[in-house]
Amino acid sequence: MNSREKVVLVVLTVAFLVGTGLALLKKWNLIRRTASSPIVIENVVDTTQVEERLLDLNQAKKYELEALPGIGPVLAQRIIDYRDRHGGFKTVSQLRNVSGIGPKRYAAIKDLVTVSLVRK
């Protein structure tokens, strides 16, 4: 490998590391922002107050899905693709049908999401 190829390799490596660092920083900020506003369910009389705080799987944008624990850009897109192919989610448990959402990931997000009755 000549010196020019080494320089190119170093530049590509640095670009990759910077990009990865920025992606991790963005994801960390989304998770931190989500964690700072937890959903409080106890002592709620009106259930519509709770549902307003839950993320609606049938309305959520990709960046909103990415804010859920364990959901990255690829998995968020799979959720949207599933929603589009099947005409929306009818139940939260249908998330288990999305490739990449196993029992642990489902358990981590099932209480953070809801399904609207009216699909737009």
Q: Is residue 51 part of a domain?
A: yes
Q: What is the pTM assigned to this prediction?
A: 0.56
How many domains does the chain contain in total? 1
Q: Is residue 119 part of a domain?
A: no
CATH number of the structural domain spanning residue 82: 1.10.150.320
Range of the domain at 53: 3-114
Q: Is residue 67 part of a domain?
A: yes
| DSSP H helix total and E strand total for the chain | 5, 2
- How much of the chain, in percent, has pLDDT values that exceed 70? 77
**What 3-state class would DSSP assign to 52?**
helix
- How do residues 77-120 score in pLDDT, each as one tens digit? 999 999 999 999 999 999 999 999 999 999 999 999 999 875 44
Q: Is residue 120 part of a domain?
A: no
Q: Is residue 64 part of a domain?
A: yes
